[in-house]
Structure 1
């Protein structure tokens, strides 16, 4: 029975929380010994990824959607998203991998707030155009990571990297300037994290509000502010996405997925999925496998 592998950050780099990888070098590695954990098969990550393309282009699937990433563009992948690297295209660039702990350690609360919004995949397109300045900074981050002789190497890299992330998020602020307030973002992040952890145990939004010690009305306001969706809509969207992930990336039967997601019986599970998508889980699997 195939489930979706979850790949963690390298143990020997967890203290540092950041890694820069050359895409050309990465694609040439021998992954055969990893079996289903190869990055070229569907998997989840428990860290953030910024993929910068310096030459060529690649079509990359994230959560069942295919994105074209061209030269001087980047793709953002958030923790828990399902993706698989493309082994067919010829492209150059960098992977910047980093953990939440890295952001909290090296960035100010104000910077962390903006960067967290940048990785809100529920709302924003994950492909970004990079100007010459940002491409230069990306190259400098990669170079400092490999060659820096400085004692404060991590601080230098984080300073350079923060400029890239700030400039990336500027697009989102222009698109959604009315959501530029920090007020409530901690609660939204807590709600999102709770859903990812607790969704198999219940689909009642009131229960999430109670766990967060806030009212249903307040939770609704927070959800609308950061996603343009009610709390119930946001919860249902996530559950449907998780069902799609399992249908397309595992060999679990529809019945097994039904119980895995937290439904008591398949009939209600099928109705729930069809109401949201217009097709049954089995029809979805047939189309997407």
Structure 2
């Protein structure tokens, strides 16, 4: 069975929603959204995603994850790990609740790795669906309405506040885990955790004089004392993405952040991201962002005016 990976753009197209303006401008590569669920009479496709999703579900339905079906007949909270194939089928028209979705660029450094490992949002070996009692439903609904109000507001630090609510929501999910469910980390999980920890340590880039040290899978494999093929196979198995793709995503996301938030010229950004020549950076950026760095920056300036 060929399991595809759905992008954020494909999600909005599939659900017939307008792609948010800030996403069209691709500001910083970061994205967050929160919506209310409505009547759903179709089956969401069984696939992986390149984004995280948390759903507060009311109404009857069936959640399929890793070929395991869970019948939902009472209010529930669902945590969707991007690397885990999943889908949802509504069984009645009384669908309600909320969902929020966000990508790595929005929440890349929001939690410690040891906390992530205990959350089903980041650890696909954990239970990801939880039935809620009345008090739980009220509390979780409040988190979503808080994020909804913040997103619609004009406070200039609203996304920082949303990240704080998201962190609380993730911690609440950890608290719902059954005692003893967190398993000891096997060697493969430990290596995967070390890879992402090492990747996180490279960012953010805070100075042109402090360039990235690790930009290739082979460099990470050498630092982790494993063969690059072993690392590639492990990362692909646990995330659905290649090591190169994950590294490229972080570099492009950082490039966009630097273009948006600094006055560094393209040559300085190219150097600090590990490129020997600005022309190499321009070609690389255009390959993954479908535009040049300078045109990307100019587009952002025009959008903000």
| Normalised TM-score (structure 1) | 0.52
Q: CA RMSD in A?
A: 4.2
Distance 2:162 2:91 in 1: 31
Q: 1:210 to 1:154 in 2, by over 3 A?
A: closer
Q: 1:211 to 1:62 in 2, by over 3 A?
A: farther
Residue 114 of structure 1 corresponds to which residue in structure 2? 115
Choose the corresponding residue for 1:23, options 31, 37, 48.
37
Residue 144 of structure 1 corresponds to which residue in structure 2? 150
Distance 2:36 2:223 in 1: 41
Q: 1:124 to 1:97 in 2, by over 3 A?
A: same
Contact 2:61 2:88 survives alignment (8 Å): no
Deviation of 1:215 (Å) = 7.3
Match of 2:224, SS?
A: coil
Q: 1:86 to 1:192 in 2, by over 3 A?
A: farther
Choose the corresponding residue for 2:224, options 202, 209, 213.
213
Unpaired runs of 5+ residues, structure 1, are: 29-37, 194-208, 220-234, 243-289
Q: 1:15 to 1:70 in 2, by over 3 A?
A: farther
Residue 4 of structure 1 corresponds to which residue in structure 2? 3
Distance 1:45 1:179 in 2: 26
Distance 1:69 1:211 in 2: 46
CA deviations over 1:127-166 (Å, ceiling 9, x no partner): 1244132332123223332x32312111121111211111
| Normalised TM-score (structure 2) | 0.50
Q: 1:72 to 1:40 in 2, by over 3 A?
A: closer
Residue 107 of structure 2 corresponds to which residue in structure 1? 103
Residue 72 of structure 1 corresponds to which residue in structure 2? 75
Runs of 4+ in structure 1 off by over 6 angstroms are: none
CA deviations over 1:225-260 (Å, ceiling 9, x no partner): xxxxxxxxxx7xx59xx9xxxxxxxxxxxxxxxxxx
> Higher helix fraction: Structure 1 or Structure 2?
1
CA deviations over 1:155-195 (Å, ceiling 9, x no partner): 12111121111121124484357859xxx9773325699xx
Work out the number of aligned pairs and report it: 191
Choose the corresponding residue for 2:62, options 55, 59, 62.
59
Tell me whether 1:84 sits opposite 2:87 in the alignment: yes
Distance 2:183 2:47 in 1: 35
